[in-house]
Chains A and B, each alone.
Chain A
Amino acid sequence: MAITEAPKIITGRIGHADSHTLERYLATGGYDGLRKALAMTPEAVVHEVDTASLLGRGGAGFPAGRKWAMLRKSPVTYLVVNGDESEPATFKDHLLVERDPHQLIEGVVIAAYATQVSQVFIYLRGEFALGLERVQAALNDAYSLGAVGSDIFGSGFSVDVVVHPGAGAYICGEETALLESLEGKRGFPRIKPPFFPAAIGLYGEPTVVNNVETMSNLPWIVLNGGSAFAALGEGRSTGTRLFALAGHVNNPGVFEIEMVKTTFRDLIHAPVLGGGIPHGRELKAFVPGGVSAPWFGPDQIDLPLGQDEVAGAGSMLGSGSVVVMDDHTCAVRASWRITKFFARESCGQCTPCREGSGWLEKIMERIETGNGREEDLDLLLDACDNIAPGLTWPPQQTTICVLGPSIPSSIGSAIQMFRDEFLVHIKEGGCPYG
């Protein structure tokens, strides 16, 4: 495995200090993809995206072209862009909205044309103050240019795009919670199936929900063709993908990497990528795909960065984040903090998630602070089992959304991989790492 010479599909422009401006965008081929798309039929655009095998970059990895095809025919339909990015250790959309907002807008209008929707909402995380300003400013420029609004570039196609700020709630990244939030309500996920947003979405109308990174790939795909995209990567995991690398690495950041051709080892250790682990320490474990995902140990470091490859090994590529923990890391403390996050962010609709996360946090906290009891390990696993029976991966669904069943991932991994550390905490009332 190696770092390939794949083109920078979505980060090509961000080396420029003014990458967020319309001037830079137009000077680097901006809105050419949209012009080309508008000269095609909507079906032909969908066909290119299908050919590209563009998997959604928000977490679930559903093929974008297939999702669009499922959109129920109706006079009023919506496209909602998910820029809520709150999965811990995920910060790739942050880069895209701040540094290349026009690319996002161009992708969004292409998707709107392909799916023939009448209005788009870009839901951005409220904490992205600069990102909100950048996308709004870019949108104002795009309207003046005629790339958004009525009769786009004289094509007869019209669509409005509205930037909508969130207000700080992780659960609003879940697509149905996001729709509730966009309707001005609490972010309570809706029960699905039977009705996915493509059938009953925003205001009860058919709605496509796609991630910011998914959208940002579209200008390139239209310009270069779906098969050029599909030629990169392997199997279902085509093209490039952004990976947000953080934790104990010398060079944390967002890297655009060809799917499958590169491994976790490359990402973490290559000098041009993560640059290895600081202070000459060793790898203890890493969390792929966001904190909802089960952890991997050093023996899984040669896994390729591909959706099915990682799923086959018992975890997920999820949101495209990778957190590295060195051998001085306390597994109890790390999994306690992740559990605390879920307890804080559970929306409270489902008993296993609401009560379970609270219980787990309490037990984890007392172990972490040296007040654990002998029976706590069994109690933890029992509580985990009540939230996600059998602790299988992917987990069994016991709740309205998958936040609940993801809670046990970190505790389950930590106990399975580092049981000794839990025992030391409990028996000696303290942490072996101080």
Chain B
Amino acid sequence: MIKLTNVSKIYDKKGSALNGVDLQIDAGEFVCIVGQSGSGKTTLVKLLIAEEKANSGKIEIGDWDITRIPRRDVPLLRRQIGVIFQDFKLLPKKTVYENVAFALQVAGETFGRIREVVPKVIDIVGLGDKMDRYPTQLSGGEQQRVVIARSLVHRPKILVADEPTGNLDSINTQEIIDILGKINEFGTTLVLVTHNKEVVNQLRKRVITIHNGQITSDQKEGKYKL
């Protein structure tokens, strides 16, 4: 599903953010990516969604080589990979429903399809009763659930979450991780970047450790270690 071959990313001359990364993630996997701050985790996520381009190496999503993806194809890629960041990227002046619908609107979906899909994904994250609230009227965990709902509207094959629980307390964290687990069970490949030791240890999934832009460990049913 995701395949990186000898991928390097250099932002400026001082040093490289990723250095010769080889990585393969199969369809339906749940992968945790851990590593110290500045080790290159977010850079990896940005390469996957083509927000940054690799300086060398090859990145494939499915059968699609996205290493030199043309700009006009980026939107298509973004509809196949859902992304969740730590800072809940919600529009404050739109309700929960509108925020989720927005992702379908910008893709040119019909009103009928929007009315059909949006309540469904909002139900998946358990916010069916809060569709008309504004982001400020929601807890951090609930806001992050809205973001997850929005990332699901295109039925992505891959969901990438970069520290989705970074701003949340343990109860909200648990909720988010449960939802991500549920989404993975539906068949979506899940890549979770996290600093949270308990989460990783409890999940008992594949754990990839990055250090200084290189993969230093890759364990099935691994534990959190730096």
A interacts with B: no
A residues at B contact (CB < 8 Å) = none
